[in-house]
Structures are given as structure tokens and as C-alpha cells.
Amino acid sequence: MRTRVRTRYRMPPTAKARIAVLASGQGSNFAAILSAIDAGRISGDVIALLSDKPDSGAVAIARAASMPAWSQRPKDFASRDAFDESLFSELDRIQPELILCAGYMRIIGARFVERWTGRMINLHPSLLPAYPGLHTHARALADGVRVHGASVHFVTPELDGGPVIAQARIDVRGDDTPESLAERLRPREHALLCAVTAAICAGDIGWSDGSVAVRGRAASTPLQLGDDDCLLVDIP
């Protein structure tokens, strides 16, 4: 028998987790994480922002917050592997406990992902395993789905194929466009990423033998984000 439990994850009383954020775009997810930390909802500190777009909004947010920001253009490197080597050498140097891919739009090579197995998560704008890759909102609308959403998953070498930790869902409206769907989903994406990050930093969620563990037990299905921005957990 399974019991549905709504939990607002509490911060541990000890040291805060060291978090690195990878982002390519305007940085709204990054900003949401910073706000949640400032409000005491995440027991962690962002130690650096890393980006493949030096002129991105995410980099501007980091600089405005006087936060270390590593940013390089992939075209300035001889190969994809050379760029990834530089990026992950920086991660090796600063040694975060958790890496958040928050709107990071580059595919990361397998050998770099494997360095951080179980310590890197990604926010993806679909209810995985549906619609991995790009143009998720347009593809969902083309298929006529009634429910759409976002997922946070552990990063593995398979594109958007790692174990799904949690999801947020919204109803699709008859007049939705890819743009309107993305706009309505965005606040739920922010809440989802913050809730999962808080749970990992609190030690309530982790990686265990290739699957998601919730309080030390393997999760059979992804957690769901409730209307109050809490994760809904099934505990046997």
C-alpha cells in the first residue's frame, strides 16, 4: 500500500551544498534558484555560473550578483570536446556538489557527463520520456496532447534520457501556441527546479544504482509538483 505524502523539504542544520549552474539563455531559472536560496528555501550556495554564451542574460545576472562567472564561446575552441574539457576542468577546479543545467542548450559529451554521474540534473520542457530534444511545445501541440509539462532528471549520456526525478504538469488549452504554452509553463518550471534542488540539498533525493532514491528508497515513478509548489511523494 502506498501513501500520498505532501512534504515541504526542510533545510539541514549543517553546511550548505555547493551548487554550480550551467545556463545559455536569459537566466530565469538561474534567477529563480538564487531567489529561493535568498528566501531560505534551498540550503545551498551557488558558487559559479558557467555558460557557453558570454553575452547571455544568465551571465549578466551572475555579474550583477558579484558571482563568479565562467563563460566561453564554443567557436573559439578547436572542437566540441575541447570546449567541454575547458568547461569541466573549471567544474573540477571548483568542485560543486551539485550541477544544475538550467537552460543549458549544448549536448555534453558522454565522458564528461560520466565524471559527474548522480550529481548533475537538467530541467527539460516536456513530460519525459515524451519529446526529448528541441521544439517540445510545438511537437506536443501537433500531437494534440491535453497535458504538457516539465521534467527534472539526472543527466546521463543519453539525451534527456536519465532517470526522471520529478515533473510539473499543466493543461493544454485549445487556443495555445508554442509561445503561450511556454509562457504558462515557465513559473511551474521555476518551482519544479527549486523544489528538486531543495530536496537534493536536504538529502531527501539522490542517485542510487542508476535510479532516483527518495529518502533512501528507489522511486517507482517521478515525483509530482503540487499546486503549492511542494513535491508529492509516494512512500510505501
Give the pLDDT of residue 201.
96
Residue type present at position 142:
A
Which domains are assigned to the chain?
3-235 (3.40.50.170)
Active-site residue among 124, 137, 148, 153? Answer: 124
Cα separation, 211 vs 208, whole angstroms = 5
Residue partners of 158: CB distance under 8 A and separation at least 6: none
137 belongs to the catalytic site: no
Q: Which tens digits make up the pLDDT trace of 14-46?
A: 579 999 999 999 999 999 999 999 999 999 999
Residue range 85-95, pLDDT digits in tens:
999 999 999 99
b (16+ CB within 10 A) / e for 63-95: eeeebebbbbeeeeeeeeeebbeebbeebeeee
Query: How far apart are the C-alpha atoms of 139 and 150, rounded to whole Å?
Result: 14
Tens digit of each residue's pLDDT, the chain (236 residues): 333 334 343 434 457 999 999 999 999 999 999 999 999 999 999 999 999 999 999 999 999 999 999 999 999 999 999 999 999 999 999 999 999 999 999 999 999 999 999 999 999 999 999 999 999 999 999 999 999 999 999 999 999 999 999 999 999 999 999 999 999 999 999 999 999 999 999 999 999 999 999 998 999 899 999 999 999 876 55
- Dihedral of CA atoms 103, 222, 117, 55 in degrees, nearest 10, equals 0
What is the distance between the alpha carbons of residues 157 and 139, in angstroms, rounded to a whole number?
A: 23
